[in-house]
């Protein structure tokens, strides 16, 4: 895959938004649309089901030179050869982890992204050695309905203070993208605005077009 610093569009194969489509077909559409990274997120699936999905997606992302991120399961990410594992605050800090390097000891090639929802969490994730941060949810989102929006204030803070690659996430669509970019973001994660679109590849390509000049 391209260097992480060159990645701008981070998309999802999220089982909650597949609407009957096969995960691997959605992954292909996201690759065709110009995604740089794709996260497999299946909150209601078993680890065995997630691994089976990942094994079908890996050849697609590799062919397209796109990074694959497995949500929650570092062991699955390492086993299938994914480049990244993404963890929430509850999956990392609340589970007793303090440093990414300790988590990675058995999976040395894997890189870790962490979700953050405030400057304090952002600082803690940086200190833990995360390879990238997710900053959000910027806006209210059905993907995380109970999470209060962090607003563009946190995006501005990240632009001024975060020293690793970071992606704005949460309720981002083509209508509000300009405000997110205007607040200092250069990279975004997009879920429903692409997966709920009539043509996922076309929606992906439009985000790509808006991000490429940055």
Give ∠ CA 36-214-181 in degrees, rounded to 5.
95
Output the six-digit token pair for 53.
Answer: 């999905």
* Residue 69's CATH number: 3.20.20.70
145-182 pLDDT per residue, tens: 777 899 999 999 999 999 999 999 999 999 999 999 99
131-149 pLDDT per residue, tens: 999 999 999 887 777 778 9
Task: List helix spans (H) across the chain.
Answer: 23-33, 47-64, 74-80, 89-92, 100-104, 119-127, 151-161, 177-182, 192-195, 200-211
> In which domain, by residue range, is 62 found?
4-211
Least confident of 42-46, 122-126, 138-142: 138-142
55-107 pLDDT per residue, tens: 999 999 999 999 999 999 999 999 999 999 999 988 877 777 778 877 776 66
Q: Contact, 87 vs 72, CB < 8 A?
A: yes
**How many domains would you assign to the chain?**
1
């Amino acid at each position: 895959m391209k260097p992480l610093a060159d990645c701008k569009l981070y998309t999802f194969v999220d089982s909650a938004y597949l609407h009957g489509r096969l995960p691997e077909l959605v992954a292909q559409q996201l690759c065709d649309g110009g995604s740089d990274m794709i996260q497999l997120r299946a909150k209601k699936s078993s680890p065995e089901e997630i691994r089976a999905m990942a094994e079908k997606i890996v050849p697609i992302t590799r062919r397209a030179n796109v990074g694959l991120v497995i949500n929650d399961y570092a062991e699955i990410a390492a086993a299938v050869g994914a480049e990244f594992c993404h963890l929430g605050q509850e999956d990392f800090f609340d589970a007793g982890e303090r440093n990414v390097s300790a988590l990675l000891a058995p999976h040395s090639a894997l890189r870790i992204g962490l979700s953050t929802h405030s400057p304090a969490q952002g600082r803690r994730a940086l200190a833990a050695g995360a390879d990238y941060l997710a900053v959000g949810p910027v806006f209210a989102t059905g993907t995380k309905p109970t999470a209060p929006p962090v607003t563009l204030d946190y995006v501005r803070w990240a632009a001024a203070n975060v020293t690793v690659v970071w992606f704005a996430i949460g309720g981002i669509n083509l209508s509000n993208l300009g405000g997110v970019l205007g607040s200092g973001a250069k990279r975004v994660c997009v879920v429903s605005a692409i997966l709920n679109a009539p043509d996922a590849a076309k929606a992906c390509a439009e985000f790509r077009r808006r991000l490429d000049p940055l």
